[in-house]
């Protein structure tokens, strides 16, 4: 379970530049998803063996008359409320401003680690100028230059020191299925339809994440823990922005689960907000099942409407298109148990282990018939492959020139793995290693 770090500050201090540098530090395991509003991003990174999620918020402007800025301010407050640690970024070029003091006043009331990062410090004179930021009352500061990475190592060293220890998951072999999606898509109705009739088989178990509840479900031969994102308590002192908060809750739930049941409203489609949650799940290597709810409300349906709708979703998901898509109606209880059955299959796919001998017997002849294309006049020869001992499918292919194997060929390998071993609904990672 990784921690959440929020980057906050007024506009134009370099938050997004720092965020972009941070997520690119470990290319193999990090990526970012653009948010649905200006200057907000979600990503994953790690430092010194500690992984964490990052939220790059919009610029905080207290008391602005701009409606959009007021919305950003609410979202910054939500990010602060949900985060485990906060990086407060300021700009040495402009010095301490009234807006900086407003943010500092907000952060001094927060009972969480706050690291003050003075950005754009790229020479000795500016390092001396940074002293004035002691006046914000937040203690020591860290001088960085996000444009070239100077000082970020010291800041991240301090960050991982203050992050909370990883919460140990309860000893349970039951899979965890998280029901996620944007507001009013039918998440709560879906859960109620599953557990509403026979309450005696349902047990609430406190989850390891803050405020989340596991519901133990055992019915029709299926047994698992259901993580309800809709059940996380509202923050009493924060006026919610539902769209933003739905993603915040999804970040926690996705990291905590094995399979995500992504519920979307058929009348709204696979829009940007739903895609954000989808890519968060994909980049966290979780199993995914897409549930298209309220299909009965879609007007002007034709014989091939489902096929066309599915095609649009898969186009938006490219290149990860091997995901089950089920059309349901929660109110009519149509195909809701098919959804659970599929989630169980995806869970099994995610934990599948392919014997090394079988893997090589199938993949090496395919590679021999379709080898990696030559690069700079050099030929890549793949000699051996194996599945890595991780909780989700990752494969290492050993060759003479791993640096010359490009993404299109890795996708070819992934597609062949899916074709022969059925990893439907599960992200598959391919790594090329030096033989």
Backbone angles phi, psi at 203, to 5 degrees: -130, 130
Determine whether the annotation assigns residue 9 to a binding site. Answer: yes
Determine whether the annotation assigns residue 17 to a binding site. Answer: no
CB 88 within 8 A of CB 103: yes
Determine whether the annotation assigns residue 13 to a binding site. Answer: yes
User: Who's near 429: CB < 8 A, 6+ residues apart?
Assistant: 285, 392, 393, 394, 395
Determine whether the annotation assigns residue 274 to a binding site. Answer: no
Say whether the peptide bond before residue 319 is cis (omega within 30 degrees of 0): yes
Determine whether the annotation assigns residue 232 to a binding site. Answer: yes
Q: Which tokens sit at 72?
A: 């950003």
Pair type for strands 213-219 and 203-206 = antiparallel
Determine whether the annotation assigns residue 66 to a binding site. Answer: no
Determine whether the annotation assigns residue 98 to a binding site. Answer: no
CA 78/CA 151 separation, integer angstroms:
28
Determine whether the annotation assigns residue 60 to a binding site. Answer: yes
Determine whether the annotation assigns residue 215 to a binding site. Answer: no
Q: Which tokens sit at 426?
A: 């599960």
CA atoms within 13 A on the CB side of 103: 27
Q: How far is CA 429 from CA 129, 317, 418, in A?
A: 46, 16, 12
Determine whether the annotation assigns residue 57 to a binding site. Answer: yes
Determine whether the annotation assigns residue 230 to a binding site. Answer: yes
What does the DSSP assignment read for 105-149? HHHHT--S-EEEEEE---SHHHHHHGGGGGGGSS--EEE-BTTTT
Determine whether the annotation assigns residue 231 to a binding site. Answer: yes
CA 322/CA 140 separation, integer angstroms:
49
Determine whether the annotation assigns residue 59 to a binding site. Answer: yes
CA 69/CA 76 separation, integer angstroms:
10
Determine whether the annotation assigns residue 211 to a binding site. Answer: no
Determine whether the annotation assigns residue 56 to a binding site. Answer: yes
Backbone angles phi, psi at 32, to 5 degrees: -135, 155
Determine whether the annotation assigns residue 149 to a binding site. Answer: no
Determine whether the annotation assigns residue 333 to a binding site. Answer: no
Determine whether the annotation assigns residue 279 to a binding site. Answer: no
Determine whether the annotation assigns residue 319 to a binding site. Answer: no
Sheet holding 382-387, edge to edge: 382-387, 394-399, 429-434
Determine whether the annotation assigns residue 287 to a binding site. Answer: no
Determine whether the annotation assigns residue 14 to a binding site. Answer: yes
CA 235/CA 239 separation, integer angstroms:
8
Determine whether the annotation assigns residue 125 to a binding site. Answer: no
Determine whether the annotation assigns residue 126 to a binding site. Answer: no
Determine whether the annotation assigns residue 301 to a binding site. Answer: no
Determine whether the annotation assigns residue 290 to a binding site. Answer: no
> What sign results for the dihedral spanned by CA atoms 13, 16, 17, 21?
positive
Determine whether the annotation assigns residue 365 to a binding site. Answer: no
- Residue with the two structure tokens 């599915």: 310
- Residues forming the annotated binding site for GTP? 9-16, 56-60, 119-122, 181-188, 228-232, 293-296
- Residues forming the annotated binding site? 9-16, 56-60, 119-122, 181-188, 228-232, 293-296
């Amino acid at each position: 379970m990784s921690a959440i770090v929020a980057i906050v500050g007024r506009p134009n201090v370099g938050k997004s530049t720092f965020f972009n540098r941070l997520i690119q530090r470990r290319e193999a395991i990090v990526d970012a998803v653009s948010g649905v509003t200006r200057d907000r991003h979600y990503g994953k990174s790690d430092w010194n063996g500690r992984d964490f999620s990052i939220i790059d918020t919009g610029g905080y402007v207290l008391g602005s008359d701009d409606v959009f800025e007021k919305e950003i301010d609410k979202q910054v407050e939500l990010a602060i409320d949900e985060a485990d640690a906060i990086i407060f970024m300021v700009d040495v070029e402009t010095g301490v401003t009234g807006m900086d003091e407003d943010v500092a006043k907000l952060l001094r009331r927060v009972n969480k680690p706050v690291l003050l990062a003075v950005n754009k410090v790229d020479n000795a004179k500016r390092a001396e100028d940074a002293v004035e930021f002691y006046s914000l009352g937040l203690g020591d500061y860290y001088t960085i230059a996000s444009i070239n990475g100077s000082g970020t190592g010291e800041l991240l060293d301090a960050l991982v020191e203050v992050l909370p220890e990883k919460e140990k998951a309860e000893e349970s072999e039951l899979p965890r299925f998280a029901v996620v999606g944007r507001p009013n898509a039918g998440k709560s109705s879906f859960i109620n339809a599953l557990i509403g009739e026979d309450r005696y088989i349902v047990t609430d178990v406190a989850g390891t994440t803050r405020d989340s509840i596991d519901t133990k479900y055992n019915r029709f031969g299926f047994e698992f823990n259901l993580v309800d994102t809709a059940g996380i308590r509202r923050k009493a002192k924060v006026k919610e922005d539902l769209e933003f908060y739905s993603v915040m809750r999804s970040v926690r739930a996705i990291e905590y689960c094995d399979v995500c049941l992504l519920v979307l409203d058929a009348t709204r489609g696979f829009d940007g907000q739903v895609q954000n949650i989808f890519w968060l799940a994909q980049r966290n290597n979780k199993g995914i099942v897409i549930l298209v709810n309220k299909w009965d409300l879609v007007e002007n349906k034709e014989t091939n409407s489902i096929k066309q709708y599915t095609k649009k979703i898969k186009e938006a998901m490219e290149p990860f298109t091997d995901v089950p898509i089920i059309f349901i109606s929660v109110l009519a209880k149509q195909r809701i148990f098919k959804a659970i059955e599929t989630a169980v299959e995806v869970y099994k796919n995610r934990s599948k282990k392919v014997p090394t001998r079988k893997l090589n017997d199938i993949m090496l002849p395919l590679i021999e018939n379709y080898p990696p294309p030559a690069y700079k006049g050099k030929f890549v020869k793949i000699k051996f492959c194996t599945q890595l001992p991780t909780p989700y499918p990752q494969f290492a292919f050993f060759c003479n020139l791993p640096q010359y194997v490009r993404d299109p060929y890795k996708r070819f390998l992934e597609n062949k793995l899916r074709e022969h071993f059925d990893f439907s609904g599960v992200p598959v990672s391919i790594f090329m290693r030096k033989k």
